[in-house]
């Protein structure tokens, strides 16, 4: 993956470079940010309240509170659920490490269950075997915007009296059986980081069950503070500094206006990916190359990312070589994600990648290709030609 210096050189060069993602900001958004700056109220204020109100409407009236980032939303969700020292939380090993870091951060223990090879989400059929008397919650991840089986997930919750904290960081705009992810369920955490389908640059929101949870979340995001009257204040719990600013909030409000347009474009691009890659594989005679494409779901997924799993066992190269040669062609890629259990922090605690073999294989083989609304149709064709050409070059078959 290019470092910051390499990326700057690529952006400044005369050759067109296609990053794996890029946020979309129009003049209306820029003007809205400027208006907030001119107002003098740039931290949490009226635009934050408007954003939270609008998000609540989007999620069918459920309480919503916004935070400085999607990591804070997950940590505070765990605190609201009362999870702490000695508790266990079942989650997936294929996610950004923040998913499990927040579990460690509240003193609990992550229990990693292997993933499904097709959906790349946590394999819910294996969850029951991981439940112990210490299990308090399940934290699934809707990887790349493809939801887990919500019926099965909440059946497990009911059968075992467990809280569900959905890491929906990548799933804003996704749905399950016609209902938006976040409009139902338990605690649902979203990220608005720069590469998300809806971005506030940095930020996130937590969808809650009732006003009491919402008030608790407000205290936790700002030093445990409550105010009474003009000058009264009290702090009765330990909180943090995780509030979202009005500058971030007004960007989110503008993004919401365009979300359906962005989403429609992502679907068009995803469809083109399937067609272009399959056509290129066929035309180059790579019928027996096992390049794994994502689930072809154009109803539930928001197509946050388009990820393939490379057939490394059929290639005379590794993933890094594929990424390097794509970069040389002006195509940026990403890795989302290596198995969390392979990080030193987790290995030092006794976790082993081989305990979740599907996640281990996919974690070292998965590759994120560019996908964002401002891409042209021809960009997809260029990427498909590039990756299939590299696979043909290094193919053993």
Among 118, 120, 161, which Cα is nearest to 140's?
Answer: 120
Among 232, 166, 236, which Cα is nearest to 204's?
Answer: 166
The sign of the torsion formed by the CA atoms of 221, 223, 229, 231 equals: negative
What is the biggest distance separating any 2 CA atoms in the chain, rounded to whole angstroms? Answer: 75
Q: What is the dihedral of CA 29, 32, 38, 41, to 10 degrees?
A: -110
Q: How far apart are CA 79 and CA 117, in angstroms?
A: 32
Q: How far apart are CA 106 and CA 92, in angstroms?
A: 18
The sign of the torsion formed by the CA atoms of 81, 87, 91, 95 equals: positive
Cis peptide leading into residue 65 (ω within 30°): no
Active site residue 109: no
C-alpha 167 chain-centroid distance: 7
Catalytic residue among 47, 158, 177, 196: 196
Among 190, 26, 167, 157, which Cα is nearest to 103's?
Answer: 167
The set of catalytic residues is: 196
């Amino acid at each position: 993956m290019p470092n910051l210096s390499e990326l700057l050189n690529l952006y400044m060069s005369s050759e067109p470079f296609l990053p794996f993602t890029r946020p979309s900001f129009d003049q209306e958004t820029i003007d809205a940010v400027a208006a907030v700056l001119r107002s003098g109220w740039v931290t949490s204020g009226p635009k934050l309240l408007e954003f939270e109100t609008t998000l609540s409407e989007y999620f069918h009236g459920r309480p919503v509170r916004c935070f400085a980032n999607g990591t804070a939303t997950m940590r505070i969700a765990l605190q609201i659920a009362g999870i702490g020292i000695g508790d266990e939380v079942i989650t997936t090993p294929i996610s950004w490490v923040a998913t499990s870091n927040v579990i460690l951060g509240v003193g609990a223990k992550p229990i990693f269950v292997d993933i499904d090879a097709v959906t790349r989400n946590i394999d819910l059929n294996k969850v029951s075997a991981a439940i112990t008397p210490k299990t308090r919650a399940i934290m699934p991840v809707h990887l790349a915007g493809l939801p887990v089986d919500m019926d099965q997930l909440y059946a497990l919750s009911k059968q075992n009296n467990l809280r569900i904290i959905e890491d929906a960081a990548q799933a804003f705009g996704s749905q399950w059986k016609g209902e938006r992810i976040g409009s139902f369920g338990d605690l649902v955490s979203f990220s608005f980081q720069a590469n998300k389908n809806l971005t506030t640059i940095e930020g996130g929101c937590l969808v809650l069950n009732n006003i009491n949870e919402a008030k608790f979340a407000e205290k936790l995001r700002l030093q445990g503070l409550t105010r009474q009257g003009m000058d009264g204040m009290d702090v009765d719990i330990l909180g943090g500094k995780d509030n979202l600013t009005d500058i971030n909030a007004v960007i989110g409000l503008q993004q919401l206006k365009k979300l359906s347009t962005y989403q429609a474009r992502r679907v068009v691009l995803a469809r083109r990916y399937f067609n272009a890659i399959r056509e290129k594989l066929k035309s180059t005679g790579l019928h027996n190359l096992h390049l794994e494409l994502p689930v072809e779901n154009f109803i539930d997924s928001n197509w946050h990312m388009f990820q393939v799993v490379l057939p490394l066992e059929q290639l005379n190269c590794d993933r890094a070589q594929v990424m390097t040669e794509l970069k040389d062609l002006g195509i940026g890629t990403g890795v989302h994600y290596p198995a969390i259990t392979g990080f030193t922090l987790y290995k030092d605690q006794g976790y082993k990648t081989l305990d979740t073999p599907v996640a281990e294989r996919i974690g070292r083989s998965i590759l994120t290709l560019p996908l964002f609304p401002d891409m042209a149709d021809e960009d997809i064709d260029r990427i498909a030609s590039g990756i299939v050409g590299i696979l043909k070059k290094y193919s053993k078959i």
